[in-house]
Amino acid sequence: MRKFRISTSRREQMVDITSQVQRAVGESRFSSGLCVLYCPHTTAALTVNEGADPDVASDIISGLARLIPRSWDFAHHEGNSDAHMKATLVGPTQILIVENGKPVLGTWQRVFFCEFDGPRNRSVYISMMNNETGAS
Amino acid sequence: MRKFRISTSRREQMVDITSQVQRAVGESRFSSGLCVLYCPHTTAALTVNEGADPDVASDIISGLARLIPRSWDFAHHEGNSDAHMKATLVGPTQILIVENGKPVLGTWQRVFFCEFDGPRNRSVYISMMNNETGAS
Amino acid sequence: MRKFRISTSRREQMVDITSQVQRAVGESRFSSGLCVLYCPHTTAALTVNEGADPDVASDIISGLARLIPRSWDFAHHEGNSDAHMKATLVGPTQILIVENGKPVLGTWQRVFFCEFDGPRNRSVYISMMNNETGAS
């Protein structure tokens, strides 16, 4: 398992981590298999979405804030249950198929770390599964 | 990695792709392991849900449209940020366990491609991970 | 593939299944790889979130009920389309990285079965993928 760190600068933010993911996959020297990305935090998540126009990421962040307002009457005393809900809806993992030593992404796809209760120092875990013998 | 293509006919639609998935798993001749399904698009997603009553899929589609109206004041100029949000919430991957050469599904479960900004020609990627030696 | 059963006691409920998952991973005797958790039901799901304060789980449950009210005008005659929508948004799978024979979880993370249409008897499937030869 590999890890890398990111620092977020706002309470809610999508950070493009595609280059870190590509580097980790390249360093593993696996030609074929899976790349599992894991977020070990409960108020953050991982997603794959469009990276060409930064308005898409900001629309997702603002849309989620509209969908699940922080002002809802939650019980959890830390006042960040909106962030926990978003983490469960977006999810802590992303799986990428690896071919020819690279993660396969669609034309417009980039991998994002989704911060919902920052700014904080965060980690992302990466595990590679080799498929050289049984590639299909 | 295998690919198959689907054509969607409406802006928002769930297309049952279970038979294509079962065929791809069968052709791979893996008896035990994982089947990873990947959607390379940023305004579509993959899910597993009930397929017996088509009203379930149409309720999910209409419910998502009610949850995230296209008319919200988004910044992205293409006017499809609702579709990007839905893609992130539903997610681009599904993982199925493979046993005896078949994907394991619950009694009522079917695999669906979720179109949120069609009609379009779309692709689904499939990667198989073999587990013959280490099955548990 | 392993299975374990759980019984839920309310219509909507998050059940902490971390100890069952840890036991299944321990019994598999895999030191390194992936643990794939699969929910074979269409009105339930799996998530990873905070387990220290039970208010977090109850806030997620009550927040989802506020987000997607059962009273919405759905077509499906069983009257549980809210539960099907939540199952698709939270998702039927969770993937955990396994290291040193244990599933890797963040400090505050626990694994939860999410019941959205109980009380019922439910199952969770677990599949392990070994990574001893190619660990990265």
pTM above 0.90, yes or no: yes
| Secondary structure string (H, E, C) spanning chain A | CEEEEEECCCCCEEEECHHHHHHHHHHHCCCEEEEEEECCCCCEEEEEEECCCHHHHHHHHHHHHHHCCCCCCCCCCCCCHHHHHHHHHHCCEEEEEEECCEECCCCCEEEEEEECCCCCEEEEEEEEEECCCCCC
B126 has pLDDT over 50: yes
pLDDT computed for residue A131 by the predictor: 80
In this structure, of A104-108, A125-129, A131-135, B19-23, the range with the lowest mean pLDDT score is: A131-135
Is there a contact between B127 and A96 if contact means CB atoms under 8 Å apart? no
ipTM: 0.95
Which residues from B are below 8 Å from C when comparing CB atoms?
33-34, 47-50, 53, 55-56, 58-60, 62-64, 66-67, 89-91, 94-97, 99, 104-109, 129, 131, 133-134, 136
Distance from CA of A35 to the nearest CA of C (A): 10
Q: Compute the distance between CA of residue A124 and CA of residue C105 in angstroms, rounded to an integer.
A: 12
Q: Compute the distance between CA of residue A94 and CA of residue C131 in angstroms, rounded to an integer.
A: 18
Q: List the CATH number of the domain containing A85.
A: 2.60.120.460
Residue B44 neighbours by CB distance under 10 Å: 27
Distance from CA of B88 to the nearest CA of A (A): 6
| Secondary structure string (H, E, C) spanning chain C | CEEEEEECCCCCEEEECHHHHHHHHHHHCCCEEEEEEECCCCCEEEEEEECCCHHHHHHHHHHHHHHCCCCCCCCCCCCCHHHHHHHHHHCCEEEEEEECCEECCCCCEEEEEEECCCCCEEEEEEEEEECCCCCC
Question: How many alpha carbons lie under 13 Å from residue B74 in its C-beta half-sphere?
Answer: 26
Segment B116-136 shows an average pLDDT of: 84
- For C110, which residue in chain A has the nearest alpha carbon? A42
Which residues from C are below 8 Å from A when comparing CB atoms?
33-34, 47-50, 53, 55-56, 58-60, 62-64, 66-67, 89-91, 94-97, 99, 104-109, 129, 131, 133-134, 136
Q: Compute the distance between CA of residue B65 and CA of residue B83 in angstroms, rounded to an integer.
A: 9
Is there a contact between A104 and B67 if contact means CB atoms under 8 Å apart? no
Q: What are B4-43's pLDDT values in tens digits?
A: 999 999 999 999 999 999 999 999 888 899 999 999 999 9
pLDDT computed for residue C68 by the predictor: 98
CB environment A82-109: b (16+ within 10 A), e (fewer):
bbbbbbbbbbbbbbbbbbeeebbbbebb
- For A64, which residue in chain C has the nearest alpha carbon? C67
Q: What are A105-124's pLDDT values in tens digits?
A: 999 999 999 999 999 999 99
Count: domains in chain B: 1
Task: Residue C30: list chain B partners with CB under 8 A.
Answer: 134, 136
B135 has pLDDT over 60: no
pLDDT computed for residue C134 by the predictor: 46
Q: What are B39-88's pLDDT values in tens digits?
A: 999 999 999 999 999 999 999 999 999 999 999 999 999 999 999 999 99
Termini Cα distance of chain B: 24
Task: Residue C105: list chain A partners with CB under 8 A.
Answer: 40
Q: What is the pLDDT along chain C (136 residues), one digit of tens a residue?
A: 999 999 999 999 999 999 999 999 999 888 899 999 999 999 999 999 999 999 999 999 999 999 999 999 999 999 999 999 999 999 999 999 999 999 999 999 999 999 999 999 999 999 999 886 544 4
pLDDT computed for residue B136 by the predictor: 42
Sign of the dihedral defined by the CA atoms of residues C45, A84, B78, B60, in that order: positive
Q: Which domain holds residue C112?
A: 2-135
Q: Kindly give, in sequence order, each residue whose CB lies less than 8 Å from that of residue B124, ignoring residues fewer than 6 positions away.
A: B3, B4, B5, B6, B17, B20, B37, B38, B39, B46, B113
Residue A40 backbone dihedrals phi, psi, to 5 degrees: -85, 15
pLDDT computed for residue A10 by the predictor: 98
DSSP state of B84: H
Given C64, C66, C97, which is nearest A36 (Cβ)? C97
Which other chains touch chain C, taking contact as 3+ CB pairs less than 8 Å apart? A, B
Q: Is A15 left (phi over 0), alpha (psi -120 to 50) or beta?
A: beta
Task: Residue A76: list chain C partners with CB under 8 A.
Answer: 53, 55-56, 59
